[in-house]
């Protein structure tokens, strides 16, 4: 009898342990729908990296203008590597943009400061809208969300789309043409090219891993006349990498930017 009681007690313990193990087992994450993936991607982010690029090319030449942003902090600041490439030569400009509306420029190891709007033709608010509140990501038009096709690999969801809607493409290039500039004149050139150009198509790619946005990018292609092609795009990556970004003291202590001598 005692032997049977021991066996019964062991059986009860095993049953309790098994029950406890089954309760601790994690339930599998639910598979997200396309709508849910888009909603996850629209969560605001504090910091990350973004790139705007405009590429003008013909059969014989090309010119690339790019703004590489690291952004973050509270309030948000932007560290920008502005780059132009033409005729095999590349020129880089190291800049900071602060919420005060100041632009800090590194000129041959000496920092200078000026008002961003006077220098570039766009404001700090324009950069916020273009990068942190970009409409194609944070408030995508129905034509884009409907066009998305989704693929899933485990917890990674990839949405891709090809757009030919002219209205959507114009809205997509607007922030790029506003902020990927170093002068008001450059803005006007972009706007003129967009006015005379033929919008051909736009490709979009959005990746969500788990429940968080991983990367997002889009490129709009235009044809200008018979000889020239133009592409304009914006992309994001490395979210959360620059939460505590600050304008460095040597930039904050920059000298006023010298005024250009205007000779008639």
- Predicted confidence at residue 7, as pLDDT, reads 44
4 is a domain residue: no
9 is a domain residue: no
Distance (Å, rounded) from C-alpha 64 to C-alpha 232?
Answer: 10
Grouped pLDDT means (10 residues each) for the chain, 264 residues: 48 49 65 96 96 93 95 97 91 95 91 94 96 97 98 97 97 97 90 92 97 97 94 97 96 88 47
β-sheet with 198-209: strand ranges across: 149-153, 156-163, 198-209, 212-224, 228-237, 48-57, 62-72, 77-86, 89-97, 102-107, 110-115, 255-256
**Number of domains within the chain:** 1
Please tell me the pTM assigned to this model: 0.87
48 is a domain residue: yes
110 is a domain residue: yes
Instruction: Kindly report, residue by residue over 211-222, the tens digit of the pLDDT.
Output: 999 999 999 999
Instruction: Kindly report, residue by residue over 82-127, the tens digit of the pLDDT.
Output: 999 988 899 999 999 999 999 999 988 899 999 999 999 999 999 9
3 is a domain residue: no
- Predicted confidence at residue 25, as pLDDT, reads 61
Structural domain containing residue 178: 34-256
- Predicted confidence at residue 10, as pLDDT, reads 47
Whichever domain contains 146, its CATH number is: 2.50.20
- Predicted confidence at residue 3, as pLDDT, reads 46
- Predicted confidence at residue 88, as pLDDT, reads 85
């Amino acid at each position: 009898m005692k032997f049977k009681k021991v066996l019964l007690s062991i059986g009860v313990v095993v049953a309790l342990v098994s029950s406890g193990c089954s309760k601790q087992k994690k339930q599998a994450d639910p598979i997200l729908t396309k709508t849910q993936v888009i909603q996850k991607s629209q969560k605001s982010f504090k910091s990350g990296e973004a790139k705007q690029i405009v590429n003008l090319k013909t059969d014989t030449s090309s010119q690339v203008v790019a703004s590489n942003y690291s952004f973050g902090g509270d309030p948000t600041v932007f560290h920008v590597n502005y780059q132009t490439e033409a005729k095999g030569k590349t020129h880089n400009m190291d800049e900071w943009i602060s919420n005060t509306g100041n632009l800090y420029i590194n000129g041959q190891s000496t920092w200078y400061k000026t008002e961003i709007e006077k220098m570039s033709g766009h404001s700090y608010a324009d950069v916020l809208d273009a990068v942190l509140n970009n409409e194609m990501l944070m408030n995508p038009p129905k034509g884009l969300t409907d066009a998305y096709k989704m693929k899933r690999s485990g917890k990674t969801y990839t949405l891709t789309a090809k757009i030919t809607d002219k209205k959507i493409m114009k809205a997509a290039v607007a922030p790029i043409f506003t902020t990927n500039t170093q002068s008001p004149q450059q803005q006007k050139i972009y706007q003129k090219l967009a006015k005379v150009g033929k919008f051909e198509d736009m490709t979009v790619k959005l990746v969500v891993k788990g429940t968080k946005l991983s990367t997002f990018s889009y490129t709009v292609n235009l044809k200008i006349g018979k000889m020239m092609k133009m592409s304009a795009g914006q992309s994001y990556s490395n979210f959360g990498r620059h939460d505590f970004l600050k304008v460095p003291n040597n930039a904050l202590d920059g000298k006023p930017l010298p005024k250009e001598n205007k000779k008639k």
